Structure 1
Amino acid sequence: MSSVATFAYYPGCSLEGLAAEAEEAFLKIAAYWEIELVEIPDWNCCGSSSAHSLCGELARNLTWRVLASLPDNVSQVLTLCPSCFDRLRVGLFEARKSPEDFSNLFDQKPNPSWDIRHFVKVLADFPWKKIKGKPLSGLRIAPYYGCLLYGPAKLPPPMEDGLMEKMLTALGAEVIPWRYVKQCCGTYLSVAKPDFVSGIVRRMMMEAQRIQVDCLVTHCVMCQMNLEMRAPAQIDLPVFHLSELLALGLGQARINWFKKHLLDPLPLLLKKGLL
C-alpha cells in the first residue's frame, strides 16, 4: 500500500535516548496512517540548547548541515521535538536570508520548497473522527503545549491552537481547558535552577489536581520530564507524551512505554480499562 505522505524525518537527540518510547509510539502512529518517514542520513544535533546559547554561528551551521543532508526527493522535514522544530525553523529562515553563506559551506543553494513540520500539525490533518468507538473514553485530560511552539518572535506561529484537543476529543477523551496550557515549564533551567523550576511545576500540578483531571498530556519530551521529575511528592498525576496516548487510542500502544514513566500511569490506565 502506498504512503499518503512522505517526510524527511529528523529524530533529534532526546528521542534516540531518554525519550525513545515517544518516538516508538510516533512510529506506530505513522505506520497506522501510512506516513512514510525517510530518516535524514547522518543527521546531527540541532544545537539545542547549549549551542545556540553560546555560539550563534555554530548553532546556525548545525541546522544548515541537517538541511544540506536532506534527500533530493523530499522537501518537508518532520520532527517531534519542539526545540528541534524551533531551531530548524530558525536555521531555514537564516539560510533563506543568507543563501550565499549557505552555498559557501555546503556547495548547494537552499531549496525554496524546504519546510519544517511539527508532528502535531501533521497528525491533526488525518481523519481521527473515523476511528471506531471512543477508545479513550472516561479519561479527563489537561492538555499542555508549553511555550516553544509560539516563538521565536521573528517567525510566525507555526500552527493554530486546539490541535491536540481535536485529536484527543475525537478518540473519546474529555479535554479540560486550564490556565497553564502555554506556561513555560522551565525547560533546561531544570538543571541550572532546579528550585525555580520546581516552583513552576508545583503550581501547575496543584492546579491540575484542583480541576480534577486524570492526567496531563504534552507533545514535548522536555516538558514531560520536567513535570514528572519536579512534581511535588504528594501529587501523583501521570504525564503522557501525546504520541503515547494517540497510539493507545489506535490500539498500537505497548505497556513497556508506560513502565518508564517517573509518575506511574499504569494504575490509571488499568482503572479506566485502557490496558
Structure 2
Amino acid sequence: MKKLLVTGASGFLGWHLCQLAQSQWQLYGTYHTHPSEVPGVTLLPLDLTDYQAIKQVMQTVQPDAVLHIAALSSPNACQSDPDLSYRINVVASWELAGLCAEAGIPCVFTSSEQVFDGLNPPYRETDPVCPINRYGEHKVAAEVGMQERCPGVVICRMPLMFGAAPTASSFIQPWIKMLRAGQSINLFTDEIRNPVSGMDAAQGIFLALANVKGIIHLGGIERLSRYQLGCILAEVLQLPIDQLNPCRQADVQMAAPRPPDASLNSELAYSLGYQPKGFKDAILALQAEL
C-alpha cells in the first residue's frame, strides 16, 4: 500500500480523513498538542514551527502523498498572535510544499472560506481573494507560496465543518452541551455559512487529490446562518429551541472580524462527484453519536 502522511491527524478533519483512508493507504499522521490515538495510524510528534522537524518526518515516512491539514485555525487566536499564526499557517505550509515538490509527490492543502470578505457570495474559485482577518490573510499567503513552490499542489478551500470525532470536537458539541445543561446560546443571524460534515469534507478532499490541480471549493449545498443551524440541531436532537437567542455579529466583541457570508460556490466539486448532505440530513445520520 502507498504511504499517506496527514498532518494534524488527531484533529477533527484529520481524524475523518484517516477513517476514510485506512483501507487504501498505509497511514502516518502528525500531532502537536493532541496525541490522541487514531486506530490504524502511526502517529508522530511534529512542531510545525521547526523546519528540521518537518524535514525529518518527511525523510522518516517517505510518503507517496501529503495531506496538510494541521493549522492554527481559530481566527481569534490568529488575530491575537499573528506571529505564531504566520509561522504555523504560512511558513510551515510553504516548507511542506517545497519538500513535496522535491520528492515529486502530491500535496493537498486545506485552506478556508475566510480568504473572502463575505460581501459578494457565493464565491467561485476564480474570484479574487479579499480577507478581512489575519487567519484569512495567512491562508492566502500560504496558497500563493505553496503554488510557487509546488505547482501541482491541490488547494481545498473548506467551509465550516461539523460532526463527531473521538479526538476533537466541532462547533456543534458546545452548543449541544449548553442546551442539555439548560443554558442559553447567542447565535448570529447575520453570519452565513454553507457547512459540511467531517466525513463529507474528507470525501471531497480525496476526490480533489485524485482529480484536481490548483484550487477547489468544498462547500455544502445550503447557505444557513448560525442561528438557523442551531434551530435545526435543536429540532433533530429534541433540545429546547427557546434557549437559542438570535443576535448579530456587532453584539459580540471578538478579536477577529468575521465575513458576513463566506459561502462557497462548489459547482466544480459537484461536477466531479462531490455530494455533501444537507445539514439536517447529516445531523440525523450522526444522531446516535451526538
Q: What TM-score do you get using the length of structure 1 for normalisation? A: 0.35
Structure with higher strand content: 2
